[in-house]
Amino acid sequence: MGTQTLSCLICAVPANRYVQIKTYSPALMLLYACTIFTSAFLLFLVQPVIAKQILPWFGGSAAVWTTCLVFFQVALLAGYAYSDFTTRKLKTREQVLLHIALLAASLAVLPIVADTSWKPAGDEDPGLRILGLLLATIGLPYFLLATTGPLVQAWFARTFPQGTVYRLFALSNLASMLALISYPFAFETWVVTATQAYAWTVGYVLFVVLCAASALYSQRNAGAPKTAGTAASTAENDAPAPSRFDLVLWLALAAMGSWLLLAITNHITQNIASIPFLWLAPLTLYLLTFILCFESDGWYRRSLLLGPFALILGFCAWGLQTSDVTLDIKIAIPLYLAGLFICCMFFHGELAKIRPAPRYLTLFYLMVSLGGALGGMFVGLVAPRIFPAYFELGLGFVLTAILAAVTLRKSPIFVWIIAIAMAGICGYFWTQQIDQLKEDTRVMVRNFYGTLRTKDTGPATSEDAVRRLIHGVILHGEQYLKPERRTEPTTYYGPDSGVALAIKNVNPENQRVGVIGLGTGTLAAWGKPGDTYRFYDINPQVIEIAQNEFTYLKDSKAKIEISLGDARLNLEREAPQNFDVLAVDAFSSDAIPVHLITAEAMAVYLKHVKPGGVVVFHVTNRFLKLAPVVKQIADSHGLYAALIVDEAEETSYSKTDWVIVTRDKRLIESDAIAKKASEFAEIPGLRLWTDDFNNLFQILK
């Protein structure tokens, strides 16, 4: 982006209230613009870079991203508070010296590579541990990046008081959005995770140089004599201070934007499709609305937006209480992403309409940041502790409609009535969602790893009645209620499934079987006297439900062992377990967590499997072709692999795909396995998955 382009972006005359025309120095404009652009790009690039580093340590859960977002919003608030305080309370020279000192100190914590001492043991609160890890790893650099937007804009307004300072806010959000868009398509696709961290570190050093130069220039020109343009802007800078109602409205509009951002991100990644790069889509749209609304007043037209706003708000609320929408990825994801975009256009468009004079911009940004942090903290930290399921999204739609009514209070009466009616409609659908989730539900609990509930499909005397365990909207196992059928394996573990074939054909006597992912404990049904089944699960609530709501573990003839914590981390710490069969069956909604399906993970598994044993991967997935990934990992270790597809067309079992991996070529070539094996799909250009690299785009179905 050249000097002329940046100067035009900041100095062009938009249709807003704070415009004066003056000749600018392109070089000086470029310094401020480059500082803000670089800081915003790094600010949002670090989010997926650091999240991907720590994701494997916390079970690959989508909640890792939500927790990271909460940290980023709180750090952003701290940065904005610092900017507001130092701008109002410190002299220019004191502010500049303090900021340069902090910039220099932040270099001491580089590079941004998470220390392995932060890996969880399994019995701590993962949310709090993630927050501590982020604070120690990127706390000070992120804080300083967060200060840059309002601080440099304040310097700009002081140096060029007649300038269109809010265009720098649009430039900042443009850089943030470019960082998010580029990450999955450029950085993640081609650059390993460690290199990403070091490249970001180099970019941060460049930012420190630019920011220090901007600070020094600001100090040098702080005492410059007032020009005619400066005098002309005095009246605008002396505009009345914002009222308390203005402050509350800024806070509420920002909070609801953040609330819906996190709530919709949770909904589409945990209840619809657990595809990690979907984490970035909502945040990208959220930032785009900031760019459009603050770049020019022409992008947000209240009269044109209100109709679509009311319509899509109603449809989104209705979709929460019908599985026809939630389970159809082609409807649900576009609907909720569109809903987020239109709602945030309303929130941020209204914020732009009531923004203050540049004199109060640091206060404005502080309130916007505080609102964002409060909305994020409620969804990310409070809601999982007070709601047994994802009720915060429906509540968010209700509050959105109420806030619209407050914001539009001076509009024509019919507009206000429509807003109130939408609040009632959203409230009705929200209560319907709650009632449906509670209907026939025996247990419903929630924690960092998501929502779990059990429900019965009929009376215990019915031949086919089952009790089901549901994670979000995904079935994680079921058991017949009739006592005579309670020990029958169900769903993905039928007699023709890959895992059942492995258990029946590998050292059938006194087996030692490891299972990553407990669920209902269905695999224990295959246990025989003398066998040992060791289950690994990261979620303590899953263990509690398997032990209290299902009887597979109690009824099993095998000895049962349970290990709490991330399976891979626990296996790395444990002595060799000498498993005959190790089943990798850990679901995160509808996908195996990536850190359990890498070359390094396979090396860990092989340490615990006997020479003639097998590792069996459950790769059934609606969205991703995981079998070729496992085959390539097996090849890299010199192992043999067979894909077992159980169509289960004439049985009560579920269609499943398992990949059997072993050192024993004879097992793969045996009639029991070879006759049921299917061909692996070819994925051109597929690259070996490692802890440092994986590409989900390549394996989309």
Beta-bridge partners for 235:
none
> Which amino acid is it at 661?
V
Contact of 33 with 4, CB cutoff 8 Å: no
Decide which of 618 and 56 is more confident: 618
pLDDT in tens, 50-64: 888 888 788 767 778
Q: What's the confidence (pLDDT) of residue 1?
A: 36
pLDDT band at 13, cuts 50/70/90? Answer: very low
> Between helices 193-220 and 26-54, what is the axis angle to 10°?
150
Q: Could you tell me which of 588, 657, 608, 656 has the C-alpha nearest to residue 628?
A: 657
What is the four-CA torsion angle of 15, 18, 20, 21, rounded to 10 degrees? -40
Tokens, residue 370: 């505080």
Write phi, then psi, for 350 (nearest 5 degrees): -70, -35
Tokens, residue 348: 């941020």
Query: Residue 342: CB partners within 8 Å, gap ≥ 6?
Result: 305, 308, 309, 312, 313
What is the four-CA torsion angle of 71, 77, 81, 83, rounded to 10 degrees? 90
On the question of pLDDT at 234 being above 70, the answer is: no
Strand order in the sheet with 466-471: 441-447, 450-456, 466-471, 474-480
Residue 372 backbone class (left: φ over 0; alpha: ψ -120 to 50; beta: rest)? alpha
On the question of pLDDT at 514 being above 90, the answer is: yes
The span from the CA of 183 to the CA of 662, in Å, is 36
Contacts 24+ apart (CB under 8 A), 502-505: 502/581, 502/583, 502/614, 502/616, 502/658, 502/660, 503/581, 504/672, 505/667, 505/670, 505/672, 505/673
Contact of 482 with 458, CB cutoff 8 Å: no
Do the bridges between strand 441-447 and strand 450-456 make them parallel or antiparallel, or are there none, so unpaired? antiparallel
User: In this structure, how many other beta carbons lie within 10 angstroms of the beta carbon of residue 486?
Assistant: 16
**What does pLDDT average to over the chain?**
85
Least confident of 5-14, 195-204, 410-419: 5-14
On the question of pLDDT at 398 being above 90, the answer is: yes
On the question of pLDDT at 436 being above 50, the answer is: yes
Tokens, residue 464: 């086919």
Do the bridges between strand 512-516 and strand 474-480 make them parallel or antiparallel, or are there none, so unpaired? unpaired
pLDDT in tens, 94-116: 999 999 999 999 999 999 888 88
- Mean pLDDT within 513-523: 95
Q: Could you tell me which of 653, 591, 545, 492 has the C-alpha nearest to residue 272?
A: 591
Percent of the chain, pLDDT > 90? 46
Tokens, residue 695: 């590409």
Question: Half-sphere exposure of residue 2, counting CA atoms within 13 Å on the CB side?
Answer: 2
Do the bridges between strand 512-516 and strand 532-537 make them parallel or antiparallel, or are there none, so unpaired? parallel
The span from the CA of 638 to the CA of 69, in Å, is 41
Q: What's the confidence (pLDDT) of residue 440?
A: 81
Angle at 679 between CA 673 and CA 680, to 5 degrees: 110
Q: What's the confidence (pLDDT) of residue 15?
A: 34
On the question of pLDDT at 677 being above 70, the answer is: yes
The span from the CA of 659 to the CA of 631, in Å, is 8
Write phi, then psi, for 695 (nearest 5 degrees): -130, 100
238 to 92, 231, 306: CA distances (angstroms)? 20, 11, 33
111: preceding bond cis by omega (within 30 degrees):
yes
Burial of 459 from C-beta contacts in 10 A (0-12 / 13-18 / 19+): exposed
Q: What's the confidence (pLDDT) of residue 165?
A: 62
On the question of pLDDT at 294 being above 90, the answer is: no
Least confident of 449-463, 474-488, 643-657: 643-657
pLDDT in tens, 30-44: 888 899 999 999 998
On the question of pLDDT at 76 being above 60, the answer is: yes
Q: What's the confidence (pLDDT) of residue 183?
A: 84
Q: What's the confidence (pLDDT) of residue 17?
A: 39
pLDDT band at 664, cuts 50/70/90? Answer: very high
Secondary structure class of 447 (helix, strand, coil)? strand
Query: Residue 235: CB partners within 8 Å, gap ≥ 6?
Result: none
Residue with tokens 């603050």: 294
Question: What DSSP state is assigned to residue 324?
Answer: H
Q: What's the confidence (pLDDT) of residue 613?
A: 95
On the question of pLDDT at 348 being above 60, the answer is: yes
pLDDT band at 255, cuts 50/70/90? Answer: very high
Question: Half-sphere exposure of residue 492, counting CA atoms within 13 Å on the CB side?
Answer: 26
Q: What's the confidence (pLDDT) of residue 450?
A: 82
Total H helices, total E strands in the chain:
26, 12
The span from the CA of 317 to the CA of 425, in Å, is 8
Strand order in the sheet with 512-516: 559-564, 532-537, 512-516, 579-584, 609-618, 656-662, 640-646, 677-678
On the question of pLDDT at 376 being above 70, the answer is: yes
Residue ranges in 221-243 assigned as alpha helix (H): 228-237
Question: Half-sphere exposure of residue 253, counting CA atoms within 13 Å on the CB side?
Answer: 29
User: In this structure, how many other beta carbons lie within 10 angstroms of the beta carbon of residue 664?
Assistant: 16
Residue with tokens 């979000």: 472
On the question of pLDDT at 299 being above 50, the answer is: yes
Decide which of 446 and 593 is more confident: 446
The span from the CA of 447 to the CA of 123, in Å, is 13
On the question of pLDDT at 230 being above 60, the answer is: no
E-strand stretches of 120-245: none
pLDDT band at 321, cuts 50/70/90? Answer: confident
Contact of 201 with 208, CB cutoff 8 Å: no
The span from the CA of 80 to the CA of 351, in Å, is 17
Q: Could you tell me which of 29, 28, 32, 11 has the C-alpha nearest to residue 20?
A: 11
Residue ranges in 320-328 assigned as alpha helix (H): 323-326
Contact of 253 with 371, CB cutoff 8 Å: yes
pLDDT in tens, 131-186: 999 999 999 999 999 998 888 887 877 766 655 666 777 788 888 888 888 887 78
pLDDT band at 73, cuts 50/70/90? Answer: confident
Residue ranges in 361-411 assigned as alpha helix (H): 361-377, 383-386, 392-407
Least confident of 203-207, 269-273, 372-376: 269-273
pLDDT band at 127, cuts 50/70/90? Answer: confident
pLDDT band at 22, cuts 50/70/90? Answer: very low
Tokens, residue 506: 């590998």
On the question of pLDDT at 325 being above 60, the answer is: no
On the question of pLDDT at 25 being above 70, the answer is: no
Contact of 297 with 350, CB cutoff 8 Å: no
The span from the CA of 467 to the CA of 549, in Å, is 8
Q: What's the confidence (pLDDT) of residue 21?
A: 35
Q: What's the confidence (pLDDT) of residue 472?
A: 74
Q: What's the confidence (pLDDT) of residue 237?
A: 52
Decide which of 202 and 270 is more confident: 202
Tokens, residue 44: 């949002």
Report the Cα–Cα distance between both ends of the chain, in Å, rounded.
37
Least confident of 189-198, 389-398, 563-572: 189-198
Contact of 11 with 163, CB cutoff 8 Å: yes
On the question of pLDDT at 652 being above 70, the answer is: no
On the question of pLDDT at 594 being above 50, the answer is: yes
Query: Residue 121: CB partners within 8 Å, gap ≥ 6?
Result: 565
HEC sequence for 246-257: HHHHHHHHHHHH
